[in-house]
Structure 1
Amino acid sequence: MLDFKLSDVIGDDYAYFLRCNPDHHGIALIAGRGTLHHHAWQTESIADLGKLGDRLFNVGRRLIWGPVRHGAGHNMAAYYVEPSGAVVELYTDMEQIYDDLRPPIEWDSDDRTWFNRWGVYRGEDFRTHGLFPAPLDRFNMTNKTRGI
């Protein structure tokens, strides 16, 4: 759908990283509380990730994780939760994939270097964030609601 390509798969139905341009991923679907875990936005440098932390602090909010270096995507990132509950990843230095036929890299779910190359944080609480899928019946309009 929407011509997204699969970049990486983690474990057996644990996480999927999807791209719609050369960036390794624009969204991630991760097993946990929600389905859409995060959407990703590029910054120019790791200094911008620090500025994000400062801006959030100045308005009484905090990063939920980062800066960190990932194995999947090879990027540096920092994360915060927006009011909707979605996680936003700001990143720099992400892997670029120009081959649309490149098969997804498959990571063993026990190999946590896909998640964190710099530290030992395991991220179980990180998965408590994300957006739930909308119920299908929410969008099914009856004849009455369509004015028929």
Structure 2
Amino acid sequence: MTKNSMRLDHIVLWVTDPLAAARFYQGAVGLEPVRVAEFAEGKAAFPSVRVNDETILDLALLAFAERMKMLPGAAASAGHPVNHICLSLPADAFDALRTRLAEHGVPLSDIGHNSFGARGKASRSFYFRDPDGNVFEARHYDE
């Protein structure tokens, strides 16, 4: 491991229905909802889901992309060009996620082996899409 103190804070996903996306991530993926009730009440601009203590996924309404003015070209970022987001889990949580996604009717890739990532080669991995087409990889490493 490096001694870098930088961490991944959040990823913003463009979604067509933030509440439906939050339900998917809570129910099918098993992530904790953040500010979902506040968003539903009009008190927050978007809901989020918690990946871990340090990282969340923000579920931003795709229609708001045109308002992204903080950087030239930011509005064009909607749908560009993230290939996938990888979630690393312990083996038992990996199995539980795959089961939960299947129970929700989410199409899953076959299980791959020994794909390289931040912690070396992962024992197993698979891919799935959320309802808005964002691609996720789930993996676990032998500990």
Q: Larger RCO: Structure 1 or Structure 2 (Cα < 8 Å, ≥ 6 residues apart)?
A: 1
Q: Say yes or no: TM over 0.5.
A: no
Which structure features the higher share of helix residues? 2
Q: TM-score, normalised by structure 1?
A: 0.34
Larger Rg: 1
